[in-house]
Structure 1
Amino acid sequence: MLEVRQLHISRGGKPVVHGVDLDVAPGEIVAMLGPNGAGKSSIVLALAGAIPRSQGKVRLGDLTLDGLTPDAVRRAGLAIVPEGHHVLGNLSVHDNLRAAAMVLPAKEVESAIERVLVTFSELKPRLEHLGRSLSGGQKQMVCMAQALLARPRILVVDELSLGLAPLVVKRLADVLQSVAADGVGVLLIEQFTTLALRLAQRAVVLQRGRTAWSGPAQTLRDQPEILQASYLA
């Protein structure tokens, strides 16, 4: 279980997140929604250990994630798929995966890569291709494979569908559902709200760095005006 309590974040001296609470249970997909500037990306960066938190507690099971480096956060069991499907363009797909597997013991690296390639079989013929030669969908597959290498307990995905073709989005959405079915908690940050609410069991709507609404995703599917109000406010 990922538990976030009273999370406050400031960036450039300006408060951008104000007292957000968040839970993600094993096997659950939670959608985090809201307009640009609502604080979603700042929360992702704080969870990853990439930026500091002003206040608040983040726990993953029995572990407190306060003050951990990004590598330590990954070792604790929280993995991030960042926005923008960034890969190292001058490295092969195989070396991109090896670089992400550095948090694992050396003897486990290749077996972990083989395991994620079962999920992303499309990457097998491209293992020696440079990252810069890949399509956007292939790059996103590499990013998701990197995040899954260390068998995380919580997977945070920032903008799964951004810039991708519908067939690729469906493929990646199927992977997310499979990951959740295996007991991994998923926090999905997604501008394509129809997709997010189709995948999620629960949703959190942010507005200007605060929680505007939290509850079952089905409620937002049935009452879209709740979500519309947060985007128009």
Structure 2
Amino acid sequence: MRKDDIYEILQEVDETLLLIGEQYVKAHEDKEIQEVVKVKVKNALENFRSCLDYCLHDIDELVLNRNRKVIYFPYESSKNAFKTAIHKNFKGLRNKNSKVYDALESVQDFNNPDSPWLTILCRRTNKVKHDKLLKQSRRDNHQVTIPGLGKFKNNRNVVFENCTMVTDTAVIPIDFSIDHQGNITSNKPIDPRLSIEKIDWVTFTIANTNRDVLEFLTQCRNEIGRMVEQIYLEIG
């Protein structure tokens, strides 16, 4: 059984994610950093893929009583395609252990339409293993939050001129502008009753996706960890 190997790999990934997070902090201070630890990202992707395939080998051996040397974790775009792939490559799995089948199905992208990750992981892992490291695009993000007025994130320019904000206890004059970097300028003193919070952060988007590197890897870690736990509750 490969359960201990999988958890050892996940522990290594956890350490990698901490390191990548530290690089984000450095990048926030250093605008010259355009990409973050691409080799570490490659290692995390490959480690995730190993967890998926190790788990599948245990299912093949312990549930299906087979011992194939080459099998690959299924990732499909629809429920029917997944059902067909399992029937073709892991025939009888649903009948022998429906909870294991459900665990494999739960991580498929069609069950995570708002934030799909499995196909990106599998395809990008092949890319970094056989072709080249993943390209990243840096973005500096800014958000200004003014309770009662709104949140202003990465806006080009917002101008309030001769406006007022009515609260339960006061009428507050609003007369300032917010630029695309979240900087606030005004020709007049800003009313001290106005609460203003500004947050700055940096993201690194994986090329040809809309996914931030650290956010994506963290999601992969959480989803794989959850699936692994479910499966080994069933098979030991």
User: Normalising to structure 1: TM-score of the pair?
Assistant: 0.25
The structure with the larger Rg is: 2
- The structure that is helix-richer by fraction is 2
User: Normalising to structure 2: TM-score of the pair?
Assistant: 0.25
- The structure that is strand-richer by fraction is 1
